[in-house]
Amino acid sequence: MHEFKSKRNSLYCENIKVLDLAKRFGTPLYVYSYHTLIGHFLKLKTAFHSLNPLICYSLKANSNLAILKALVDKGAGLDIVSGGELFRATQAGCPGERIVYASVGKTDREIEEAIHRKILFFNVESAAELENINRISKKLNTSTQVAIRINPDVEPKTHKYITTGKLTNKFGIDFKSAYQIFLLRRALSYVRISGIHIHIGSQITEAEPYLAAIKKVIEFVETLRKKGIFLEYLNIGGGLGIVYDRETPQTAENFAKKVLPLLKRSKLKIILEPGRFIVGNAGILVTRVLYIKNTPKKKFVIVDAAMNDLIRPALYGAYHTIIPLHCTPYTVHRTEKIDIVGPICESGDFFAKDRNLPKLKEGDFLAIMGAGAYAFSMASNYNSRCRAEEVLVVKDEVFIIRKREVREDLVRNEIVPAFLSGL
Ligand code: PLP
């Protein structure tokens, strides 16, 4: 599945020992494997090759320019959700016709910038947004292509915070309202509605929720056809789950086998927007044990990474496999139950609770697996902690792809008014 492998009791990323990287670059440290990243993209491309879809990597999962450039060079498009992400897409050299833009709250400035960049289309999330895009397009005297994001009201069987396709979620437009929009589309003469978009959630491990959503959408597309309304694109979003713990997510091949017959029936050009599937297992977070602390109830292993580096456990109670980098067959057999926690002043700042791990001591290094997606991209400076370095391993070579922040970065944009400086 990925290029992080244990060889002779040491964890390797491609051909490089992770422990050597930790010692060379310091910790906390994000380590990415180039071949895992590209391998996952190519797995999806191969599985869907009979439809030749546009695979728009969802850059919110990990938006480092090197990651984007690696994927764009292999033919990926990008799924963006903000002006900042459009800027990154541009920096990475992604052609406009390979960019799709979702988000429930696009501002006028963001819409104008994306129109100027000639993106493929906006995934429109409300009637009000559609009217606004029409108004801005009129002002710019251009015709803008859009897809309607449908909220198909299906249960994706994932964490409620990453469920996006139920009618209680803020995303997309219900079928009835979408139908009204299509009937009234002629009133909006500066937008061309040429596609349907769905994205039902994230870390989805089964095909059934996709099948349920796609079936509903295809029936809708057929209803529109009967009314003489013809579309060009069907964007089925992202959401494919990966292994963090004992999940058994579908492979790209199995997923494709299940959805391809339906997608072919649609006779539309297919777009996918995977994020986590491509980058999730292509990265790890390496951290060092600072202290061991025993309380009457627990044993805490305090490490130098924290929830500001990887917020998923705090945010969703998410599980990440943790591998000590010093493991020998001897240590593996002497396990104990511990909590692994960071230094931040929140009880939610943990990476593992009541986890059985080999006995650890100060100075040991740990790899927190599955930290490629929604890790650095959700990182913050909380507790005035500098964001960690990111490195990319390509076989025997390692490249710094983001420098470790320094203290000056923390206050770079802050201004103390003159009256406080005594001036
Ligand atoms: N597309 C849209 C519209 C999203 O909101 C997201 C994630 O939130 C994705 C794609 C990517 O999801 P994932 O990383 O689960 O593939």
- Assign residue 110 the CATH number of its domain: 3.20.20.10
Q: What are phi and psi of 183, to 5 degrees?
A: -65, -30
Give, using CA atoms, the residue closest to atom 5 of ligand 1. 199
Q: Is 389 in the pocket of ligand 1 (CB under 6 A)?
A: no
Banded model confidence at residue 163, pLDDT cuts 50, 70, 90: confident
Atom index in ligand 1 nearest the CA of residue 238 equals 16
Residue 224 sits in the same domain as residue 289: no
| Last residue of one domain, picked from the residues 273, 306, 330 | 273
For the chain, the domain total comes to 2
Q: Is 277 in the pocket of ligand 1 (CB under 6 A)?
A: yes
Banded model confidence at residue 422, pLDDT cuts 50, 70, 90: confident
Closest CA to 287 of 354, 347, 357, 371: 371
Atom index in ligand 1 nearest the CA of residue 102 equals 3
Assess whether pLDDT exceeds 60 at residue 371.
yes
pLDDT (average), residues 321-334: 75
Q: For the CA atoms of the chain, what is the radius of gyration?
A: 23
pLDDT score for 230: 97
Identify which has the larger pLDDT, 315 or 329: 315
Banded model confidence at residue 157, pLDDT cuts 50, 70, 90: confident
* Residues constituting the chain: 423
Residue 210 sits in the same domain as residue 293: no
Q: Cβ(77)–Cβ(99) under 8 Å? A: yes
The answer to the question of residue 122 being in a domain is: yes
Q: For residue 88, what are the contacts with CB-CB under 8 A and spacing of at least 6?
A: 59, 63, 65, 68, 80
Give, using CA atoms, the residue closest to atom 9 of ligand 1. 238
Q: What's the rounded Cα separation, in Å, for the pair 156 and 153?
A: 9
Instruction: Tell me the CA–centroid distance for residue 147 and ligand 1, in Å.
Output: 16
Instruction: Tell me the CA–centroid distance for residue 327 and ligand 1, in Å.
Output: 35
Instruction: Tell me the CA–centroid distance for residue 391 and ligand 1, in Å.
Output: 24
Assess whether pLDDT exceeds 70 at residue 328.
no
Ligand 1, pocket-test mutation among 199, 281, 376, most atoms within 8 A of CB: 199
Q: What's the rounded Cα separation, in Å, for the pair 404 and 407?
A: 10
Q: What are phi and psi of 271, to 5 degrees?
A: -125, 140
Ligand 1, pocket-test mutation among 58, 82, 162, most atoms within 8 A of CB: 58
Q: Cβ(363)–Cβ(288) under 8 Å? A: yes
Q: What's the rounded Cα separation, in Å, for the pair 164 and 149?
A: 11
Q: Cβ(150)–Cβ(178) under 8 Å? A: yes
Ligand 1, pocket-test mutation among 99, 273, 376, most atoms within 8 A of CB: 273
pLDDT score for 334: 79
Q: Is 103 in the pocket of ligand 1 (CB under 6 A)?
A: no
Q: Is 125 in the pocket of ligand 1 (CB under 6 A)?
A: no
Ligand 1, pocket-test mutation among 123, 202, 210, 378, most atoms within 8 A of CB: 202
Q: What is the CATH number of the domain that holds 291?
A: 2.40.37.10
Atom index in ligand 1 nearest the CA of residue 280 equals 14
Q: Is 53 in the pocket of ligand 1 (CB under 6 A)?
A: no
Q: What's the rounded Cα separation, in Å, for the pair 20 and 13?
A: 11
pLDDT score for 155: 83
Identify which has the larger pLDDT, 422 or 110: 110
| Last residue of one domain, picked from the residues 233, 252, 273 | 273
pLDDT score for 169: 87
Atom index in ligand 1 nearest the CA of residue 273 equals 10
pLDDT (average), residues 76-87: 98
Banded model confidence at residue 160, pLDDT cuts 50, 70, 90: confident
Q: Is 276 in the pocket of ligand 1 (CB under 6 A)?
A: yes
Atom index in ligand 1 nearest the CA of residue 277 equals 16
Which residues does the annotation mark as catalytic?
A: 345
Give the domain extent around 376.
4-31+280-406
Each residue of 338-369: b (16+ CB within 10 Å) or e?
bbbbbbbeeeebbbbeebebbbbeeebbbbbb
pLDDT score for 332: 60
Residue 285 sits in the same domain as residue 265: no
The answer to the question of residue 195 being in a domain is: yes
Residue 224 sits in the same domain as residue 326: no
**How far is CA 118 from each of CA 104, 114, 402, rounded to the nearest angstrom?**
20, 6, 29
Residue 255 sits in the same domain as residue 307: no
Q: What's the rounded Cα separation, in Å, for the pair 168 and 153?
A: 8
pLDDT score for 222: 96
pTM of the model: 0.96
Residue 184 sits in the same domain as residue 224: yes
